[in-house]
Amino acid sequence: MMAIISGRKLSKKIREDIKKDVSKLVSETAKIPHLVVVLVGDNPASQSYVKYKKRACKEVGIKSTVINEKESITEQELLTMINRLNDDESVHGILVQLPLPDHIDENKVIDTIKLQKDVDGFHPLNLGYMLLGRDGILPATPKGIITMLKSENINLEGKDALIIGRSNIVGKPLGTLLMKENATVTTAHSRTQNLKEKCLRSDVIVAAVGRPKLVTEDMVKPGAVVIDVGVNRVDNKLVGDVDYEAVKDKVSYITPVPGGVGPMTITSLLQNVVLCFKRIELT
Ligand code: NAP
């Protein structure tokens, strides 16, 4: 029996809980969790991601402020702004929407965000804590994927999991989180040989590449769990990295695109804002 893991439905449920949590925190502390999103330039994809994040914050009672900066902002100006937000006691989370223009060093920007306000979990120390299995802020997409798997009680222990893609924001951190769940993890990338063979022996496949129909029906073993992270625009429609229609009847669980990992990424971000708020205001 195949089941679709709807990130949209699961998000709705989790966001209701976040809303209750936020409301309780506001009455306890007389403060409102506040996320500041910094958007540089006018990349349409980034603009729409920021719009979704702002809308989601509103849905659960988190205050959000979007700072829109021109493409021409200098690296120093951006770092100065982040330092100001780091010191601003009314701000609990800082998110700089990536990618940044070429003249700005993303690493310097990420390193400058105060650890306690790093809601994206991209700061090297937060990633280090994750690697060591210590408490920290987890990157939103991998965190959302683990939440989806757990919501269906999918047993990962001893299972062969293949992650296709080794980015710092998805593939690499997800490998650590799946290993924590006792899966046996393989990470594939553009230099991997025999991808099909590796897919065919995997109980769980996570596709995070950005290439439509990278994972086809003949690459998936019957009963596998398939998580599609990819977001691609084909003929003006959003599709993932998995040939969904052909693969769906062969697997035990699959995530759709849109409505799968995407909403869960934003839900995990909301959870991270609340976590940062609690750490700042309640400890
Ligand atoms: P990325 O930085 O774009 O990197 C892509 C990865 O795919 C790299 O590791 C690359 O290998 C690998 N790759 C490229 N061609 C391949 C091939 N033919 N076979 C196997 N591996 C291949 O990755 P990303 O930022 O994680 O994004 C990946 C996709 O997920 C994109 O479509 C993005 O839009 C989407 N995404 C979605 C969400 C969401 O919330 N739904 C969040 C983040 C990203 P090398 O390392 O060797 O170059």
Catalytic residue among 21, 97, 116, 159: 97
> How far apart are the C-alpha atoms of 173 and 142, rounded to whole Å?
7
What is the model's pTM? Answer: 0.98
What pLDDT shows up at residue 190?
A: 98
Q: Would residue 271 show up in a list of annotated catalytic residues for this protein?
A: no
For a mutational test of ligand 1's pocket, the pick from 49, 50, 146, 209, i.e. the residue with the most ligand atoms closer than 8 A to its C-beta, is: 209
Q: Which tokens go with 104?
A: 């700005």
**How confident is residue 2, by pLDDT bands cut at 50, 70 and 90?**
confident
For a mutational test of ligand 1's pocket, the pick from 167, 168, 264, 265, i.e. the residue with the most ligand atoms closer than 8 A to its C-beta, is: 167
* Residue 231, C-beta contacts closer than 8 angstroms, at least 6 positions apart: 210, 238, 240, 257, 258, 262
| Contact status, residue 22 vs residue 274, Cβ threshold 8 Å | yes
48 lines ligand 1 (CB under 6 A): no
List, edge to edge, every strand of the sheet that includes 204-207: 3-4, 253-254, 225-228, 204-207, 160-164, 184-188
Tens digit of pLDDT for each residue in 12-51?
A: 999 999 999 999 999 999 999 999 999 999 999 999 999 9
* Proportion of the chain in helix, strand, coil states, percent, rounded to 5: 45, 15, 35
Q: Would residue 120 show up in a list of annotated catalytic residues for this protein?
A: yes
3-state secondary structure of 122: coil
Q: Would residue 53 show up in a list of annotated catalytic residues for this protein?
A: yes
Name the CATH superfamily for 30-114.
Leucine Dehydrogenase, chain A, domain 1 (3.40.50.10860)
Q: How far is CA 210 from the centre of its chain?
A: 15
Q: What DSSP line would sit under 10-43, residue for residue?
A: HHHHHHHHHHHHHHHHHHHHS---EEEEEEES--
Tens digit of pLDDT for each residue in 74-110?
A: 999 999 999 999 999 999 999 999 999 999 999 999 9
Instruction: Show the beta-strand stretches assigned E in 57-175.
Output: 63-69, 93-96, 160-164
Q: What DSSP line would sit under 206-270, residue for residue?
A: EE-SS-TT-B-GGGS-TT-EEEE---EEETTEEE-SB-HHHHTTT-SEE--SSSSHHHHHHHHHH
Residues of the chain with CATH 3.40.50.10860: 30-114
Which CATH code, of 1.10.1740.110, 3.40.50.300, 3.40.50.720, 2.60.120.40, is assigned to 140-262? 3.40.50.720
Strand partners, 63: 34
Strand partners, 95: 37
Q: Percent of the chain at pLDDT above 70?
A: 100
Tens digit of pLDDT for each residue in 160-212?
A: 999 999 999 999 999 999 999 999 999 999 999 999 999 999 999 999 999 99
Omega before 99 within 30 of 0, i.e. cis: yes
Ligand 1 centroid to 138 CA: how many Å? 18
Q: Write down the mean pLDDT value for the chain.
A: 97
Q: Percent of the chain at pLDDT above 90?
A: 99
Tens digit of pLDDT for each residue in 108-142?
A: 999 999 999 999 999 999 999 999 999 999 999 99
Instruction: Evaluate if residue 1 carries a pLDDT over 80.
Output: no
Ligand 1 centroid to 167 CA: how many Å? 6
**How confident is residue 283, by pLDDT bands cut at 50, 70 and 90?**
confident
> How far apart are the C-alpha atoms of 25 and 184, rounded to whole Å?
39
CA distance readout (Å), 159 to 162, 241, 283: 10, 22, 38
